[in-house]
Amino acid sequence: MDDEFYINLAIKEAKKAADIDEVPVGAVIVDKNKTVIGYGYNCPISSNDPTSHAEINAIRMASKALGNYRLVDTTLYVTIEPCIMCMGAIIHARIKRVVFGAKDPNWGAACSLYSMGEDKRLNHHPEIVSGIYEEKTKQLIKKFFINKRST
């Protein structure tokens, strides 16, 4: 299935973050033709930029690729549930679908802490799909933090 294929690409991005000692989150944006138009990984520490989350980096690349800040008819694949900042950007960009692996009970704004995509006060409501390779994506984060605590 397509969702698993693209989540695997996001996992590859997440591993790039882990390689530079950043929280391993990766994202990929695909257009309606199933072409990857943006990708990114977490790097707020190394870039000294608190907005440099995987989703934001992928959105920036996809917007440049399309020459438009609106990413209508796109799907964002991300390893972990997006945070409030990222869900805000997803809604502003009009991303059609958000597909993620593991829920984030501490920061998740798609369905855990908040359900921003369902908030009727907002003007866009992306479809939210969760649990694609949930265990695999959860283990990436767990392993990272276990290693952090042991050093």
List of residues 6+ apart from 149 with CB closer than 8 A: none
Tell which residue, 8, 9, 18, 32, has the closest CA to residue 97. 32
Q: Are 77 and 100 in contact (CB under 8 A)?
A: yes
The gap between the terminal CA atoms of the chain, to the nearest Å, is 39
* Residues known to be catalytic: 55
Phi and psi (nearest 5°) for 144? -60, -50
Spatial distance between the Cα atoms of 44 and 30, rounded to a whole number of angstroms: 23
Tell which residue, 99, 124, 114, 115, has the closest CA to residue 29. 99
